[in-house]
Structure 1
Amino acid sequence: MWSFVTTPGSAPAVGVGVVDAVPVISAVISSGMTDWLAWVAIGAFVVALALQWQDRPGPARHVAAAAWVVFGVFWLTMVPYYYTDAQSPLQTVLSLAALPLCTYTGYLLFRGRDSLMLLSKAVMFMGVIYLPAETIPVVRTWLIETTAAQTHYGMELLGHSPGLAEGPEGYRSKFAFDPDETVTGRTTYIVLACTGIGSMAIFGGLIAAVKAPLRRKATAFALAVGVIWFLNQVRNVFIGLASPWGWFQQDWLVSFMTTYMGAEPSRVSFLVAHNYIAQMLSVVALVGITFLVVRILPEILEPLEDVLFVLTGTEYDLQEALGEEVRADGGHAAGAEDSSGSGSNAE
């Protein structure tokens, strides 16, 4: 999930609101246990898939089921951050829903739904892609500062050149707008979630998990990463300018956000741009990117069918619905000829 942080002038960000009902979870986050839970979950998925490779389906299902439960607990520990600091309704709801959904997925696996091992494999690869960026300082620094520099370049194309300064986290990632010259007196800085690495990890995990020719998998991955990178830069520039210049500081909106959402008046433009407009459009973008990737790699429909089953309890045949037939060897079905009429299947 993408995120962004706003600060008043050069001061560090301050979360708005208090979640008194979850002090224990907040303590877990501050202690660093969240990263530990993520590593445990991904490690358990690795063990489960190793057991499956050794042709031990029973133990593999049981370990994967436990991994799903730990994965759900990990997302639960993120709720206080999304609610208090990020003030993101969408991310808060998704994090709350993750524990029951992950627990149900583990239950289905434990009861013998072997097809969920492919989805487990995808989640494992997602973690392998994302966690190094989250936990290895040099990787994290490079991603954040590179994204900040690229976002600043995008601002310059629109006539704004605030410069970059060190943000509260110690990275050169804060847009140094003069608080005396802007409308809200606030500015923003880039955090890891602003880099788009989370969305890239989702598609990378799905693509790596399925069986298909390497050429098509590489093409699908390059397409997904390229589109995510471009849209993420547009999003970062939009939020980075909307916050200091008060694009959404209309009186009625400020009144609503401060009265019912507990927002600081000067932070309204940031919250509207980031938590509502950008995040909602991000969901639309992910659906669109999925459609593009499926045209190249229809094999990823298989784990997506299991996602829909977990969410709805209904079996879906997405391949039939979208007209994407897939051969057992990972290619397109016979008869799916290329447009040249030569009769050969395009890979």
Structure 2
Amino acid sequence: MNMASVSAATDAASVVGLESAGATALTPAILSSIQLTDMLAWVAVAAFFGALVLRWQGALEPARYLATGAWVTFGGFWLTMVPYYYYEMQSPLQTILALAALPLCAYTGYLLWGGRDSLFLLTKAIAFMGLIYLPAETIPVFRAWLIETTAVQTHYGMELLGHSPGLSEGANGYQSRFNFDSDETVTGRTTYIILACTGIGSMAIFGGLVAAVKAPLRRKVTAFALAIGVIWFLNLLRNVFIGLASPWGWFQQDWLVSFMVTYMGAEESRVSFLVAHNYIAQSLSIVALLGITYLLVKIVPEILEPLEDVLFILTGNEYDLLEALGADDIRADGGSERADSER
């Protein structure tokens, strides 16, 4: 299972769309792959929930079989994203994560098939992640509101730093393009906000984890609110950083341009964007995800339980993160000695 690429999905994988002075439309091949991706994602999420219902009703074996199929489908969903990440976004991190997702998801299904029933909790978390993310991906009104609101907030952040390019229609049809004058900027390029720039991927990850585990409602609400607030703020900073680095060529140094063009196949005028987005912002996003996880564990240590299974899938070793972090007082019913004193 590829937890990081869900946010690809991580906002390690969140994206600011790049365009030149005009809008660059997606190719028909990319559009058709997005339709297939949406279908696979919905099928996987529906199958995840179906397996959870079967398990709740006591039909354990059918639940395992359905969950196994759901995990394989989920891996197929990520595989369809590889061409987009590799050709369109030119993102090595996202491409590697998407490629790794299929074997990891297939292995997760294999473990479930073989009787590792603790993986039903991870299955539940992924199901809730999809339930949070997919409506934003597939419902036009919600999608437009998220993108355009993020664009307005990012533009306000730019204004605080002395830049006021205005907003115009981006290649995605939304008022999300930062309207820098190509004759005045260093690279002649600008950026526009797409769905992944909204932070919804990372919000879905933590929302799914918190929703899946058993814990007192007050702690779960507190953890979710904290995660949303931190993600929103850091995502805003990231968007402003990339949105200014691209047109003003903050990373257009000759040696860096030569390296990126020669060895990474980048367009010369696109180097500053690629360095800012694909390398600096995505690397920092991973650090941010780990930091947010640490904060949430302090409030809802129960989320360590599905993360232990993620580590088992990745390494083949069993881990007791609850004990390692001193949170082993959690009871099987999702409460804890500490939580009892809160109620």
User: TM-score, normalization: structure 1?
Assistant: 0.92
Report the Cα distance in structure 2 between the residues aligned to 1:107 and 1:150, rounded to whole angstroms.
44
What's 1:89 paired with? Answer: 92
Secondary structure, aligned partner of 2:342: coil
Q: Counterpart of 2:262 in structure 1: which amino acid?
A: T
CA distance in structure 2 between the aligned counterparts of 1:39 and 1:331, rounded to whole angstroms: 32
Contact 2:146 2:198 in 1 (8 A): yes
Q: Does 1:346 align with 2:342?
A: yes
Q: Quote the residue 1:329 is aligned against.
A: 333
Aligned to 1:340: none
Return the offset for 1:14. Answer: 7.4
1:197 maps to: 200
- Give, in whole Å, the separation in 1 of the partners of 2:308 and 2:334: 17
Q: Is residue 167 of structure 1 aligned with residue 170 of structure 2?
A: yes
Following the alignment from structure 1 to structure 2, what is the Cα–Cα distance between the partners of residues 34 and 282?
A: 24
Match of 2:292?
289
1:27 and 1:11 mapped to 2: Cα distance?
Answer: 16
- The match for 2:226 among 202, 216, 223 is 223
Q: Which whole-Å CA distance do the structure 2 matches of 1:65 and 1:112 have between them?
A: 11
Q: 1:212 aligns with which of 215, 220, 245?
A: 215
Say whether residues 1:182 and 2:185 are aligned partners: yes
- Structure 1 stretches of 4+ moved >3 Å: 25-28
Using the alignment, how far apart are the partners of 2:239 and 2:157 within structure 1? 9
What's the offset of the Cα at 1:27?
8.0
Change over 3 Å in CA distance of 1:185–1:14 after alignment to 2? farther
CA distance in 1, matches of 2:278, 2:234: 16
Match of 1:8 in 2: 20
Secondary structure of the corresponding residue to residue 345 of structure 1 = helix
After superposition, the CA RMSD in angstroms is 1.6
Cα deviation 1:307-347 (Å, max 9, x = unaligned): 00000000000011111121233233x3x49xxxxxx7236
Q: Which has the higher contact order (CA 8 A, sep 6+)?
A: 2
Which residue number in structure 1 is paired with residue 111 of structure 2? 108
Say yes or no: does 1:59 pair with 2:62. Answer: yes
The 3-state SS of whatever aligns with 1:188 is strand
Q: Tell me the secondary structure at the aligned position of residue 46 of structure 2.
A: helix
Amino acid corresponding to residue 125 of structure 2 in structure 1: A
- 2:25–2:172: 8 Å Cα contact kept in structure 1? no
The number of residue pairs the alignment matches comes to 330
Q: Distance in 2 between matches of 1:116 and 1:154?
A: 42
2-structure distance, mates of 1:228, 1:13 = 29
- 1:205/1:227 Cα in 2 relative to 1: closer, same or farther (>3 Å)? same
Distance (whole Å) between structure 2 residues aligned to residue 282 and residue 202 of structure 1: 13
- Structure 2 residue runs of 5 or longer lacking an equivalent are 1-8
Q: Does 2:147 match 1:144?
A: yes
What is the CA–CA distance in structure 1 between the aligned matches of 2:217 and 2:186, rounded to whole Å?
Answer: 51
Highest Rg: 1 or 2?
A: 1
> Does the CA contact (< 8 Å) of 1:5 and 1:13 recur in 2?
no
Q: Taking every aligned residue pair, what percent have the same amino acid on both sides?
A: 73
Structure 1 residue 10, shift from structure 2 partner: 2.2
Which one of the candidate residues 73, 77, 84 is aligned to 2:80? 77
Native 8 Å contact 1:28 1:77 kept in 2: no
Deviations 1:9-60 (A, max 9, x none): 1232679xxxxxxx9x968505x11100001100101110110110111111
Give the secondary-structure state (helix, strand or coil) at the position aligned to 1:173. strand
Counterparts of 2:233 and 2:31 in 1: how far apart (Å)? 36
Q: TM-score, normalised by structure 2?
A: 0.93
Choose which of 116, 125, 128 in structure 1 pairs with 2:128: 125
